[in-house]
Amino acid sequence: MASSNSTDHSLFISDIHLCEQRPDISQAFVDFCAHQATQASHLYILGDLCDAWLGDDDNCAIAELLQQQLLMLAEKNVKVSIMVGNRDFLMGHEFSKACNCKLLPDPSVIELYDQSALLMHGDSMCTADKEYMDFREMIRDPKMQQTLLNKPLSERRAIATMLREKSRSANATKAEDIMDVTASEVTRAFEQHGVDILIHGHTHRPAVHQLPSTDEKKLKRYVLGDWDSKGWYLKAQQGQIALHSFEF
């Protein structure tokens, strides 16, 4: 008899924050690829897969581990789509090509079985954090990205460390709610793209939100969790979407 795992399904993850300082997270990711992802038709990674990404030319241990895992999935005919986040925004086509993955623009609308779903990293909806939004605009500028990529790796590494420190000290003094999505931005995203489903990460507030809607439609916002003390993923199949967590 076919197990439920063999039903055609897609998985969504985000905010894994792979880094050399957390071998436990790397191991959890490797296990997830081997056991869960190989069973899926499609794996969507919605940003911040890595805690930092200095450029596709950086052959660090994390990049090697990732390439190995993603190529393994490609060999097993699992489609992999990657959207970058605010940590790994320099991940590019060179890497995705080397891993047989597709880079997804943020936002993207996909056909998810019987429905359309809007996929985002999530940071673009956190508009109450003005300081962050200015920073986002700067780092998403292709010219700025090229300027960064033209710098030697050692210099990029120093910049990444500096940015992480800056973000840590800034976030420590920010009110909790300004680091979450702005409600009106969520409504705007649903309206602009005409979808009933939104899936995103970034806020580290895993949840399934049902939104009030003016008509009969039921709008659902699925927020993926970050991998820190637990792992999180969303499993979607015909007529069913569920958020899961697991210990590692």
Span from 138-146, 165-173, 191-199, 202-210 in contact with Mn ion (CB under 5 A): 202-210
Span from 68-76, 127-135, 192-200, 201-209 in contact with Mn ion (CB under 5 A): 201-209
Is position 107 an interface residue for Mn ion (rule: CB under 5 A)?
A: no
Residue sitting closest to Mn ion (CB): 202
Q: How far is the CB of 122 from Mn ion (least distance, A)?
A: 7
What the block records as the tokens of 207 is 């949840």
Helix (H) or strand (E) holding 62: helix 61-75
Interacting residue with Mn ion among 86, 96, 124, 203 (CB under 5 A): 86
Q: How far is the CB of 125 from Mn ion (least distance, A)?
A: 11
Helices (H) and strands (E) in the chain, counts: 7, 11
Is position 231 an interface residue for Mn ion (rule: CB under 5 A)?
A: no
Q: How far is the CB of 181 from Mn ion (least distance, A)?
A: 12
Is position 88 an interface residue for Mn ion (rule: CB under 5 A)?
A: no
What the block records as the tokens of 33 is 């690829």
| Interaction pattern, residues 14-53, with Mn ion; x per rule: CB under 5 A | ----------------------------------x-----
Backbone phi, psi, residue 207, to 5°: -175, 165
Span from 55-63, 174-182, 194-202, 206-214 in contact with Mn ion (CB under 5 A): 194-202
- Under 8 Å between Cβ of 225 and 211: no
Distance CA 151, CA 58 (A): 12
Is position 85 an interface residue for Mn ion (rule: CB under 5 A)?
A: yes
Is position 124 an interface residue for Mn ion (rule: CB under 5 A)?
A: no
* 47 closest CA partner among 239, 176, 236, 223: 223
Q: How far is the CB of 230 from Mn ion (least distance, A)?
A: 17
Please say which residue, 79 or 136, places its beta carbon nearer to Mn ion: 136
Cβ neighbors of 98 (< 8 A, separation 6 or more) are 56, 67
Distance CA 196, CA 211 (A): 10
* Residue type for position 164: R
Q: How far is the CB of 109 from Mn ion (least distance, A)?
A: 20
Interacting residue with Mn ion among 42, 200, 202, 204 (CB under 5 A): 202
Please say which residue, 78 or 126, places its beta carbon nearer to Mn ion: 126
* 53 closest CA partner among 96, 86, 102, 27: 86
Cβ neighbors of 202 (< 8 A, separation 6 or more) are 14, 15, 47, 48, 85, 86, 121, 122, 123, 126
Q: How far is the CB of 44 from Mn ion (least distance, A)?
A: 15
Size of the site for Mn ion (CB under 5 A): 4
Q: Which residues bind Mn ion (CB under 5 A)?
A: 48, 85-86, 202
